[in-house]
Amino acid sequence: MYLCQTMKKEDLFKRLVSHCKEYGYIFQSSEIYDGLSAVYDYGPYGVELKNNIKQYWWKAMVQMHENIVGLDAAIFMHPTVWKASGHVDAFSDPLIDNKDSKKRYRADVLVEDYLAKIEKKIDKEVEKARKRFDDFDEEMFKKTNGRVLQNQEKYDTINKRLVEVMTNEDMEGFKTLIEDLKIACPESGSRNWTDVRQFNLMFSTQFGALATGENTVYLRPETAQGIFVNFLNVQKSTRQKLPFGIAQIGKAFRNEIVARQFIFRMREFEQMEMQFFVSPGEEMKWYHYWKEFRLKWHKTLFPATKLRFHDHEKLAHYANAAADVEFQFPFGFKELEGIHSRTDFDLKSHQEHSGRKLQYFDSEKKEHYVPYVVETSIGVDRMFLAILSHALQEEEVPDAKGGTATRVVMKIPAVLAPIKVAILPLVGKSGLPEKAREIFADLKWICECQYDEKDSIGRRYRRQDAIGTPFCVTVDFETLEDNAVTLRDRDTLEQVRLPISELAGKISEKLNFSNLWKEEAAVEA
Ligand code: GAP
């Protein structure tokens, strides 16, 4: 049973945050100094899961595509990079302050929250009707129900105004929209707002000893630009032909105005980005390819019902098409990944600002041109949150006395789990620890293992369930006689007896990354 089915969504989220701390996944940065807002540290299990997510992405993007190669560019870049990319002039969010609470908000988020409430009303009507009718036709109901239609119209009108003020950067219009909707400050409840103004999200610092304006450098707000400025270096050194891609994983920094919802929106975070360079005119074909490929990747980890596309109406300054893969977080469907058709904007702009040619020679067409780019961009931390919020579950399981007990379990896909195998001697004496340590010494070459002999076996199983360990190997007195152990499966609770000699093979088979793709393919078939 998923936690979200048994408890309110807000409670699930609170539970997740405290679970992450209690079990060594995530800690608030500088906690002993009361923390630093929207900055987090990953604990012993967190860092393992994060590394596994990155590895899974890298395998799917680089290892599985012969025409995609990797890169690790520096965080610091020449300041003109950010002028050329448009970030100095246009990477800002509209902010507004409430004069009574002195709280600062993103104006677009205030309106989006308002829209989410309307969406919730529509969902409620649908759910009510679903319970009433046996063969319920959701699409028909939405097209014909008066209350739904009224709310949908209200939603569309407000959304259109939001897109307009955002596209036209109409800060006055933004304030009027907030006033017209009578949006109050969630903290003070008042509607005493300042004007809306733009706020640049880049962090800057000084390079070298002199603190003059000329020495200002930025902490990169996206990893993509490191790929663009290296486009020709990579193409020439690896003799790539279009279409080809460059993938990179690395830190990015944004001075977010509203940094909230735990690791969903952070000021320091990590991105996994891939820029796919194509011939002009081919970008839409590849845009659709990457949308579908990325959705398939997510479907290897989540049920399809928790995923959806959101096609953008308001496009960023560099894009001619864009979509988000949204995931159903405990606080609703939100962006998990962006897929953007970035045209030739970035390469052309770097060409102009640097005075260097960033062109590809097409040997078939016998011409030079600036390629177009399709980008896939996902936050590691956001993916981490998606995985944990789907994995954390509470369920009834049989207890030792024939009754039932409640267990908290993290059903993280086995290949991503921080610890893959716990090796547990039934008791901490009589030769069992020695035998268990022998097994540990063998299995540690294959995957991340943990040895534990403290507490009763039941408590140790519960602890491994809470960490998300998919397999427990129990060494008991019979093991000393027959060289066999019990292998316990976290999800099914099934326990099988098998010879120690078969353990490594069995576990390796279960931890093969390709299983995820095969399972997804089976669901589709
Ligand atoms: N290069 C394109 C780009 O950066 P974006 O939509 O601004 O596009 C891409 O960001 C992804 O990075 C998002 O879908 C999200 O997963 C992640 N991301 C963006 N801002 C973030 C933040 N403040 N905290 C955590 N993740 C963030």
Q: Are the C-beta atoms of residues 76 and 210 closer than 8 Å to each other?
A: no
In a domain? residue 176:
yes
- Per-residue model confidence as pLDDT tens digits over 48-85: 999 999 999 999 999 999 999 999 999 999 999 999 99
Q: Is residue 284 located within the same domain as residue 193?
A: no
Residue 395 lies in a domain: no
CATH assignment of the domain containing 458:
3.40.50.800
Do 307 and 298 touch, CB atoms closer than 8 A? yes
Report pLDDT for 169. Answer: 86
Q: Is there a single domain that holds both residue 229 and residue 323?
A: yes
pLDDT at 209: 72
Same domain flag for 223 and 320: yes
Same domain, 209 and 308: yes
Q: pLDDT, tens digit, for every residue of 328-352?
A: 999 999 999 999 999 999 999 999 9
Q: Are residues 258 and 382 in the same domain?
A: yes
Distance 413 CA to ligand 1 centre (A): 24
CA distance 43 to 49: 10
Q: Which of 165, 182, 199 is the last residue of a domain?
A: 199
Indicate whether residue 338 lines ligand 1 (CB < 6 A): yes
Residue 397 belongs to a domain = no
DSSP for 3-21 reads: HHHHS-HHHHHHHHHHHHH
The 10s digit of each residue's pLDDT in 289-324 is 999 999 999 999 999 999 999 999 878 778 999 999
Contact 452, 422 (CB under 8 A): yes
Atom number of ligand 1 nearest to Cα 377: 9
- Please identify, by atom number, the ligand 1 atom nearest to the C-alpha of residue 271: 12
Residues 275 and 291: their CA atoms lie apart, in Å, by 13
291-301 CB burial, b ≥16 within 10 A, e <16:
bebbbebbbbb
Return the residue whose CA atom lies nearest to atom 5 of ligand 1: 338
| Structural domain includes residue 396 | no
Residue 258 is assigned to a structural domain of this protein: yes
Structural domains of the chain, count: 3
Chain segment 483-522, per-residue pLDDT in tens: 999 999 999 999 999 999 999 999 999 998 888 887 665 5
* Residue that is last in its domain, among 178, 199, 220: 199
Separation CA 252–CA 414 (nearest Å)? 28
Q: Is 382 in the pocket of ligand 1 (CB under 6 A)?
A: yes
| 266 touches ligand 1 (CB under 6 Å) | yes
User: Measuring from atom 15 of ligand 1, which residue has the nearest CA?
Assistant: 379
Q: What is the pLDDT of residue 520?
A: 63
Q: In this predicted structure, which of 201-210, 218-227, 331-340, 500-509 has the lowest mean pLDDT?
A: 201-210
pLDDT of residue 7: 57
Nearest-angstrom CA–CA distance, 304 and 416: 19
| 233-242 long-range Cβ contacts below 8 angstroms, 24+ apart | 234/69, 234/71, 235/277, 235/360, 238/69, 240/67, 240/69, 241/67, 241/363, 242/277, 242/278, 242/279, 242/360, 242/362, 242/371
Nearest to 220 by CA among 269, 253, 268: 253
At residue 391, φ and ψ (nearest 5 deg) are: -80, -30
Q: Residue 486 has what DSSP assignment?
A: E
Range in 137-146, 189-198, 221-230, 385-394 the model is least confident about: 137-146
What whole-number distance in Å separates Cα of residue 391 and Cα of residue 32?
Answer: 29
Domain that holds residue 139: 92-199
Q: Are residues 156 and 18 in the same domain?
A: no
Specify the ligand 1 atom closest to the Cα of 223.
1
393 within some domain? no
Question: Ligand 1 atom 26: the closest Cα is on which residue?
Answer: 379
Which residues lie closer than 8 Å to 479 by C-beta, 6 or more apart? 432, 435, 485, 500
Do 156 and 123 reside in the same domain of the chain? yes
Check pocket membership of 334 for ligand 1, CB cut-off 6 A: no
pLDDT exceeds 70 at position 230? yes
- The answer to whether the beta carbons of residues 221 and 253 sit under 8 Å apart is yes
Strand pairing of 449-451 and 421-425? parallel
95 CB near ligand 1 (under 6 Å):
no
pLDDT tens-digit series, residues 106-131: 999 999 999 999 999 999 999 999 98
Q: Which of 269, 345, 380 to mutate to test the pocket of ligand 1 (most atoms within 8 A of CB)?
A: 269
283 lines ligand 1 (CB under 6 A): no
The CA distances from residue 303 to 147, 515, 521, in Å, are 30, 16, 13
Residue 230 lies in a domain: yes
Rounded CA-CA distance 490/421 in Å is: 10
What's the token pair of residue 244? 């080809």
CATH classification at residue 10 = 3.30.930.10
What residue owns the CA closest to ligand 1's atom 6? 338
Residues 194 and 321 in one domain: no
- Looking at the structure, tell me whether residues 194 and 215 fall in a common domain: no
Between strands 495-499 and 484-489, the pairing is antiparallel
Distance 254 CA to ligand 1 centre (A): 9
- Ligand 1 mutation target, pool 263, 271, 339, most atoms within 8 A of CB: 271
For ligand 1, mutation pick of 268, 297, 377 (most atoms within 8 Å of CB) = 377
* Residues 141 and 184 grouped into a single domain: yes
Are residue 59 and residue 205 in the same domain, yes or no?
A: yes
Residue 141 and residue 12 share a domain = no
Nearest to 348 by CA among 290, 277, 284, 282: 277
d(CA 96, CA 128): 37
Among the candidates 199, 215, 240, a domain finishes at: 199
**Cβ proximity of 217 and 74 under 8 Å:** no
- The CA distance from 458 to 452, in Å, is 12
In 330-382, the DSSP E strands lie at: 332-343, 360-362, 367-369, 372-379
Q: How many angstroms from the chain centroid is the CA of residue 243? A: 26
474, part of any domain: yes
